[in-house]
Amino acid sequence: MKPKVNKDICIGCGACQAIAEKVFEVGNDGLAEAIVDVVPEEEKENAIDAKESCPTGAISIE
Ligand code: SF4
């Protein structure tokens, strides 16, 4: 699973970081980014929760 954030539609709400802090982080630009290339096994559920909780649908997980 490869997590990705589309910064063009991220609003920097921080929900993804709150749910999956080992996968997503809000950076200095105020927008989220994926901090891992591949989601660790134990973080898969959190990563999917974060994707589903993103208010703008900015997260994709391939
Ligand atoms: S939940 Fe979505 S809109 Fe909010 S910071 Fe994360 S990627 Fe951006």
CATH number for the domain including 19? 3.30.70.20
Alpha-carbon distance of 48 to 45, in angstroms, equals: 5
* Tokens 């993804």 belong to residue: 16
Closest Cα to atom 8, ligand 1: which residue?
10
Alpha-carbon distance of 35 to 49, in angstroms, equals: 16
Domain carrying residue 45: 3-61
Alpha-carbon distance of 4 to 10, in angstroms, equals: 11
CA 59 to ligand 1: nearest atom: 7
Phi-psi region of 27 (alpha: psi -120 to 50; beta: other; left: phi over 0): beta
CA 53 to ligand 1: nearest atom: 1
Q: pTM for this structure?
A: 0.96
pLDDT for the residue 19: 98
> pLDDT tens digit string along 32-50?
999 999 999 999 999 999 9
**Domains identified in the chain, total number:** 1
Alpha-carbon distance of 27 to 1, in angstroms, equals: 21
Distance in Å, CA 49 to ligand 1 centroid: 12
Distance in Å, CA 23 to ligand 1 centroid: 12
- Over residues 12-21, mean pLDDT: 98
